[in-house]
Structure 1
């Protein structure tokens, strides 16, 4: 069996086609900060209480966002209000929908944006002309007592017509904590983040992204079934995919990372779609196991998997232009994995 080392190609693909550029990240921060200022000013104008805190969460905070040709980027920025501050003029507690509407009204009060914010089931959404949108989930902070009669805070999301126990920051802490833990051990936490992003990039190709499962579901699958491979992101990705596929062939149920509930139930259509796409990709990559597999064939297989021509356009390793089974392009320093736009290495 051959082992065509495509780690260098995969590293370049992650750098150029998956990781967000400094410019993109800067634009998102600008929109996020502008949204926070707009919310603050709108609440002040309406003489309503400010949230106790506003926190970025989700893939933005976990640094697992991936490039999208349509600029379809979702920035989650949760607004956390003290429970007593979510009341109407009569002192009656706001319903979940009314709480979301208050935030929405604060974002649109001056009418300056071309696209006004809208109330969604689990958030308030502000869409920008460039394609970005900021989702602002609305939480209330509820204080209870533990068995020692000490105060304990928990968080409830304004979801539909209910206040549901939830705190996306806990999911962020779960993922970033694992990355940090792995980085201090034998496995590579940064590699797990890269494998997560590569998996999300695979799933979000044109024609698939509206059918496939959520980013958090893919992240949970990668974390649960991650297979590290020193200095070989291509191998780690394929072996992780094999482990995920084996799991999904048995059941498409996915547990929530921090709550006692499911991200996906049995028979979930979006997870089933992702599973079928993943199985197809693994079938295409079986050419890598053939004894006579060439580098050209390996690159073509990865191109097919990611619906690109990036891999076959990479410079030949062996220097003779044949794209054959030459030696692998070794990554000898962090500099080789840096962006060419001034950005550093992204995990």
Structure 2
């Protein structure tokens, strides 16, 4: 099986086309902080108690958000209230809908936004003219007693007409714990985060976004089937996708990382769509295994997979644009030898590289 090292191209794609820029991150962080201030001011204005804490969660907190040409970004910022602070003027507990409505009213109390906050089934959403939005899930903190008699707390989400046991911070802890464990061993948790983001980028092309599965489903699939490859993000990505494809061909049921409810059930339409797209991408990448494959063909295959021209547009070491030579000093042959394993070696006698 041929193996042309495309790690540098994949790294550049991740850096320039996948990861959010510092300016984007700064802008969203400022919007999030301004939203927290607006919530606090609105609750004060209405004479309502403040949440015990407001905590970012989801892909924003896990640092797995990816660039979107339409600025279609979702920032989750959960508001956690003491149970006794979610009561009406008569001391009766607020319904889940009333709790969300209270937060919504606080976010739009001064009427400054052209697009006011609105109540959704699982959160309060504030949309911004730039394209992205901040979702504020509303939680209540319920004191409980554990089986061993210890006093503890349970977190319940205002979901629809019910208070549902849930705490999205647990998903963040789950993911970050995996990253930390990988970094303590021989694998690389940073590579898993990159593979997660690359997989989400693959799934979120404009004509797929409404049809494909959620970011948390993709994150769970990558975490379950991550295939580490030292200094080779291209191999790690492809091998992880192969493992995910095998799993999804067997079953689309997907367990939640921390809750008892599943993320997806057997036959889930959006996860099936993602599986079919992934299978098609892997079919395209089979061209990488040809014994006589060129760097140009490898780049073209990754371009097709990600619906881009980024890989083919990368300059080679001779100042060209990724021709069949792939960057040899004289432009006549590849700067690496084509091997049959995961280790690509320079043809000048050098050792392993990536």
Structure-1 residue corresponding to 2:335: 327
Give how far 1:223 is off: 0.2
Residues 317 and 328, structure 1, Cα contact 8 Å, conserved in 2: no
Structure-2 residue corresponding to 1:189: 189
Greater relative contact order structure (CA < 8 Å, 6+ sep): 1
Structure-2 residue corresponding to 1:166: 166
SS in 2 for 1:273: helix
SS in 2 for 1:10: helix
In structure 2, do the counterparts of structure 1 residues 7 and 106 end up closer, same or farther at CA, with 3 Å as the change threshold? same
Residues 318 and 327, structure 1, Cα contact 8 Å, conserved in 2: no
Q: How does 1:134-149 map to 2 (within 5 A)?
A: 134-149=134-149
Structure 1 gaps, min length 5: 331-336, 338-347
Structure-2 residue corresponding to 1:123: 123
SS in 1 for 2:231: coil
Q: Deviations over 1:246-285 (max 9, x none)?
A: 0000101110001112000111000000000000000000
Q: How does 1:125-274 map to 2 (within 5 A)?
A: 125-274=125-274
1:278 aligns with 2:278: yes
Q: Distance in 2 between matches of 1:29 and 1:272?
A: 34
SS in 2 for 1:79: strand
Structure-2 residue corresponding to 1:89: 89
Shifted more, 312-321 versus 3-12: the winner is 312-321
Structure-2 residue corresponding to 1:333: none
1:68 aligns with 2:76: no
Structure-2 residue corresponding to 1:101: 101
- TM-score (norm: length of structure 2): 0.91
SS in 2 for 1:263: strand
SS in 2 for 1:140: strand
Structure-1 residue corresponding to 2:350: none
Structure 2 gaps, min length 5: 327-333, 338-343, 345-353
Give how far 1:319 is off: 5.8
Structure-1 residue corresponding to 2:288: 288
Structure showing greater Rg: 2
Q: Distance in 2 between matches of 1:279 and 1:318?
A: 35
Q: Deviations over 1:288-321 (max 9, x none)?
A: 0011111000000000000000000001146676
Q: Deviations over 1:135-155 (max 9, x none)?
A: 000000001112332211010
Q: Deviations over 1:56-87 (max 9, x none)?
A: 00000000000000000000000000000001
Q: Distance in 2 between matches of 1:2 and 1:320?
A: 23
Q: Distance in 1 between matches of 2:214 and 2:320?
A: 43
Give how far 1:324 is off: 2.5
Q: Distance in 2 between matches of 1:328 and 1:67?
A: 31
Q: Distance in 1 between matches of 2:25 and 2:51?
A: 25
- TM-score (norm: length of structure 1): 0.93
Q: Distance in 1 between matches of 2:320 and 2:213?
A: 43
Structure-1 residue corresponding to 2:348: none
Structure 1 vs Structure 2 CA RMSD: 1.5
Shifted more, 106-115 versus 146-155: the winner is 146-155
Give how far 1:327 is off: 2.3
Count of equivalent residues: 331
Give how far 1:323 is off: 3.3
Structure-2 residue corresponding to 1:298: 298
